């Protein structure tokens, strides 16, 4: 019996980034680096795998996320590890472990990379770009994070982003608010979905994240946290709103906004592409207790994260490209083994001078390589054959007109640059 070869594909909800999407991902990454530099953030990178206890502590032991969302596995002698489930938690861990407060206070860092969450029997991967300011509780930093995220989106061509904002409270006022929610849901919990029944028992504030219609109807008349804020949290929230208005940020108060993680305090916000958008492009807030949950001292911190997959999907749908300074492109054709061997140094010299050099050297015939050059869309093709090797020259061909001229190697860079302009 003949055996059939097994073929492999990506895990469900985990996807490849393909060459056809290169322009969009390059656009987003280049924008991220530019915006991070302009807003004075320093890069930090954390491992893709951490101790399971780190995320359990960060999300809150016994919380729904800690119990259900982590991709955890065991190795060696019972060591439990978890794929990175959140960007901020490892950064705060690194701050504590490496005493990064000595580097700068407050510390301004950015990070990017994939995170993984378990949803039932599936693993979901998403790519994020985050900004964090650690070591200062001033409300000016809350709005600084918002402005950085908005700058990121506007640079990508999203002209009318909207910020939804809500208070998150501190340990004192959140405790009071939880009790009020418990009272409200006490005689309604039988109508909740299974996940919300769990949230009711462990963290009733998380009831607001449920998107099911039945839970949404019950939520309509719930108490809101703004009525139970302590003096400090209320003052901080009012200061943030004043700064938002002073900076002419388009915003909408949302009393039921709680975000996708439970460690936020005092302030929480989401950023949408426009007023009618249904899914956020970014989230953020203050997490003053996160360092304490991870075994350190209390550190006042604020951060925000962009969901790059959603941003790239939106860019692709609009088919809108940035007016970026694209590097000049040329196509290099080499005919014969001697020319092919000598072509590497010529192509490298062009690249050192800022040219993107395309080639199809694996195709031996001139016709096949010229066909590839036409398909690439370049305006100039460089042809290098045995005669050119002997003469120390390169044939420069303008693709639109078909005209070509022989140029000495030492004049190649300046000649090509003039022709591309």
| Res. 345: pLDDT tops 50 | yes
Phi, psi values for residue 325, rounded to 5°:
-80, 95
The per-residue pLDDT for 12 is 77
What pLDDT does 63 receive?
Answer: 75
Task: State how far the Cα of 312 lies from the Cα of 20, in Å rounded to an integer.
Answer: 12
Residue 217 CB neighbour total at 10 angstroms = 11
The confidence band for 341, taking pLDDT boundaries of 50, 70 and 90, is confident
Q: Are 51 and 82 in contact (CB under 8 A)?
A: yes
pLDDT at 327: 73
Q: With bands split at pLDDT 50, 70 and 90, how would you rate the model's confidence at 323?
A: very low
Buried b (16+ CB within 10 A) or exposed e, 54-75: bbbbbbbeebbbbeebbbbeee
Kindly state the percentage of the chain with pLDDT values over 90: 58
Confidence band, pLDDT 50/70/90 cuts, at residue 320 = low
Taking a C-beta distance cutoff of 8 angstroms, is the pair 205, 178 a contact?
Answer: yes
Q: What is the rounded distance in angstroms from the CA atom of residue 7 to the CA atom of residue 141?
A: 50
Asked whether 30 and 326 are in contact (CB, 8 A), the reply is: no
**Which helix (H) or strand (E) covers residue 31, if one does?**
helix 22-38
DSSP 8-state class, residue 326? P
Name residue 109's beta-bridge partners: 42, 132
CA-derived radius of gyration, the chain: 28
Q: List Cβ neighbours of 343 (8 Å cut-off, separation of 6 or more).
A: 332, 334, 359, 361, 384
Could you tell me the maximum CA-CA distance found in the chain, to the nearest angstrom? 91
**pTM score, two decimals?**
0.82
Q: Which two tokens stand for residue 253?
A: 């108060």
Q: Band of the pLDDT at 280, cuts 50, 70, 90? A: very high
CB contact burial 378-392 (16+ within 10 A = b; e otherwise):
bbbbbbbbeebbeee
Q: Looking at the DSSP assignment, which residues form a beta bridge with residue 42? A: 109
pLDDT in tens, 221-230: 888 999 999 9
Confidence tier at 219 by pLDDT (50, 70, 90): confident
Alpha helices in 98-170 (DSSP H): 139-155
More confident residue, 203 or 112: 112
In this prediction, residue 119 carries a pLDDT of: 85
Residue positions counted in the chain: 421
Q: How far apart, in whole angstroms, are the C-alpha atoms of residue 131 and residue 72?
A: 26
57 with 294: CB under 8 angstroms? yes
Domains of the chain as residue ranges with CATH:
19-170+230-318 (3.30.930.10), 329-420 (3.40.50.800)
Q: Alpha-carbon distance 87 to 209, whole Å?
A: 20
Three-state secondary-structure class, residue 307: strand
**Average pLDDT value over all residues in the chain:** 89
pLDDT tens digits for range 59-91: 988 777 788 889 999 998 889 999 999 999 999
- The torsion angle over the Cα atoms of residues 339, 342, 348 and 350, rounded to 10 degrees, is -60
pLDDT higher than threshold 70 for residue 160: yes
Residue 322 pLDDT grade (very low, low, confident, very high; cuts 50, 70, 90): very low
């Amino acid at each position: 019996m003949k055996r059939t070869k097994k073929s492999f594909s990506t895990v469900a909800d985990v996807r490849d980034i393909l060459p056809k999407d290169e322009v969009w991902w390059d656009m987003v990454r280049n924008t991220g680096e530019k915006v991070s530099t302009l807003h004075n953030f320093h890069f930090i990178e954390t491992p893709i795998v951490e101790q399971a206890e780190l995320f359990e502590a960060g999300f809150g032991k016994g919380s729904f996320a800690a119990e259900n969302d982590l991709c955890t596995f065991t190795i060696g002698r019972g060591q439990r590890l978890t794929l990175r489930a959140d960007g901020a938690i490892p950064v705060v861990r690194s701050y504590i472990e490496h005493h990064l407060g000595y580097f700068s206070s407050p510390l301004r860092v950015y990070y990017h990379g994939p995170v993984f969450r378990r949803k039932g029997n599936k693993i979901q991967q998403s790519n994020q770009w985050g900004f964090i300011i650690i070591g200062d509780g001033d409300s000016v930093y809350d709005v600084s994070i918002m402005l950085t995220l908005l700058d990121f989106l506007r640079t990508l061509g999203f002209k009318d982003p909207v910020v939804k904002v809500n208070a998150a409270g501190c340990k004192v006022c959140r405790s009071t608010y939880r009790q009020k929610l418990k009272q409200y849901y006490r005689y309604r919990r039988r109508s909740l979905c299974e996940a919300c029944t769990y949230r009711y028992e462990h963290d009733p504030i998380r009831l607001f994240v449920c998107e099911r219609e039945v839970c949404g109807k019950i939520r309509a008349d719930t108490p809101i946290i703004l009525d139970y804020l302590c003096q400090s949290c209320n003052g901080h929230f009012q200061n943030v709103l004043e700064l938002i208005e002073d900076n002419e940020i388009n915003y909408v108060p949302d009393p039921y906004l709680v975000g996708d993680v439970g460690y936020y305090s005092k302030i929480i916000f989401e950023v949408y592409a426009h007023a009618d958008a249904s899914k956020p492009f970014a989230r953020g807030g203050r997490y003053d207790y996160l360092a304490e949950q991870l075994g350190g001292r209390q550190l006042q911190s604020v951060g925000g994260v962009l969901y790059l997959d959603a941003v790239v999907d939106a860019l692709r749908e609009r088919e809108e490209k940035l007016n970026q300074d694209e590097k000049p492109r040329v196509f290099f054709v080499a005919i014969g083994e001697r020319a092919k061997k000598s072509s590497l140094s010529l192509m490298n010299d062009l690249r050192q001078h800022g040219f993107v050099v395309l080639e199809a050297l694996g195709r031996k015939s001139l016709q096949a390589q010229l066909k590839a050059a036409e398909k690439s869309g370049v305006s100039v093709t460089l042809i290098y054959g045995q005669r050119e090797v002997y003469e120390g020259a390169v044939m420069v061909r303008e693709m639109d007109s078909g005209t070509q001229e022989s140029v000495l190697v030492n004049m190649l860079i300046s000649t090509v640059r003039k022709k591309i302009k």
